[in-house]
Structure 1
């Protein structure tokens, strides 16, 4: 179980996170949603060790994540992708995955030994581009390589920060299928941030909604989309007409109030 308890983070006088708590079990697929500035990416940065929290604790399978840095997160079994690509552009697709796998072996020898980089490329549909320089990949392939590289760290918990951003409808649908397959094959808990509510609603069995640095709702989609606070955030949206339906909001969600 990934457990995040009472996380607080301030930037100067601004409280980016205030008492945020959530949990994700291995094999669970959670959607983390909310308007721009709600604190979603800040929370992922804290969980993965890229930011140090001011308050709160992070535990993986009962053990507190020690060190408050990205390497501590990897040791604990946490991997993540980023909103904007951070690939090694002058390396090939295969080399990007191999570098991550080598790092995993250094930090977590017993857990990482069974990872096959070529199998990960096949899993993410990148076999035919294995020798291509990462910088020359099409945008959709770059997003898939980010995921393959994260999987090379043998995570128990995978954090995906806007993986569908910039993808067309066909690419988004294919990505949803791949993420579902990753969950099934690897058994890792997955937390997905995205502004594409149809993508999130189709993919995730539980949603966590943030606003102003706080969690305001958590539960199955059928419950979340009937929550008055959630409806208020997505201005102009109406309650769903079916239990699994999300409000028809696409792109970035910005407040108009």
Structure 2
């Protein structure tokens, strides 16, 4: 059984606007799954539906054998699904330490231990713990956003365009961080603007078009497929 399983999910922002039209994905522990496709395909909408930010009209979303449909974002997070949006994913005026404290809101009695683990894992955050998040570079801010998500000890992490606006060096460093989280057994579902980089990072991938599954498979095989490269990966 997959850790995360979304099946035939239908989602829209209003009754006249259906974005996802029966999308299915799965993700297992210790696996990075990339969600790719053209603009408007429904990639970010899918993450929001899994995170409880948007309600699915049809279909099922399950964590192991537990349904997530209809749960509020807080309840989804409590069950072990952490969501890192593309924007507004840190509190700029607050210190790094305060950001992490907010990330631990679901288990306040465990915050000190979790923050200590975060600082051990990300020495840069420890060094800058008293500085405002707005002083961080783009790559450092994304690391902080990921660290905030780790404060809930997630089984699944949903990342929406984590490398957007980052330099190639910052992107490589962030992807190394994502791999280390995968290696610790967390399932990662990733929407990423650079499809080739995402396929190099992921074990499996789904390509969506017009709110529907188009093709899926091993990331390495999709990256090597001439038709897929021509249609979706820029040649």
2:203 corresponding residue in structure 1: 205
Q: Mind listing any 5+ residue stretches in structure 2 that lack a counterpart?
A: none
CA 183–233 in structure 1, closer or farther in 2 if over 3 Å, else same: closer
RMSD between aligned alpha carbons?
2.0
1:241 corresponding residue in structure 2: none
Tell me the distance in 2 between the aligned counterparts of 1:11 and 1:80.
Answer: 19
1:254 corresponding residue in structure 2: none
Tell me the distance in 1 between the aligned counterparts of 2:112 and 2:153.
Answer: 9
Matches within 5 A, 1:148-187: 148-185=147-184, 187=185
Asked if 1:81 is matched to 2:84, the reply is: yes
Instruction: Please state how far the C-alpha of 1:75 moved relative to its aligned partner.
Output: 1.9
1:32 corresponding residue in structure 2: 35
Give runs of ≥4 in structure 1 deviating > 4 Å.
112-115
Tell me the distance in 2 between the aligned counterparts of 1:82 and 1:100.
Answer: 14
TM-score, scaled relative to structure 2: 0.90
1:42 corresponding residue in structure 2: 45
TM-score, scaled relative to structure 1: 0.83
Instruction: Please state how far the C-alpha of 1:115 moved relative to its aligned partner.
Output: 5.1
Tell me if the contact between 2:96 and 2:131 (Cα under 8 Å) persists in the aligned partners. yes
| Aligned with 1:70 (options 67, 73, 89) | 73
Give the number of equivalent residue pairs. Answer: 230
CA 167–122 in structure 1, closer or farther in 2 if over 3 Å, else same: farther
Tell me the distance in 2 between the aligned counterparts of 1:6 and 1:227.
Answer: 28
2:141 corresponding residue in structure 1: 142
| Aligned with 2:115 (options 108, 114, 117) | 117
2:191 corresponding residue in structure 1: 193
Tell me the distance in 2 between the aligned counterparts of 1:40 and 1:175.
Answer: 20
Tell me the secondary structure at the aligned position of residue 10 of structure 1: strand
Deviations 1:206-237 (A, max 9, x none): 11111111111111123323273663244x51
CA 33–147 in structure 1, closer or farther in 2 if over 3 Å, else same: same
Q: Mind listing any 5+ residue stretches in structure 1 that lack a counterpart?
A: 238-257
Matches within 5 A, 1:240-251: none
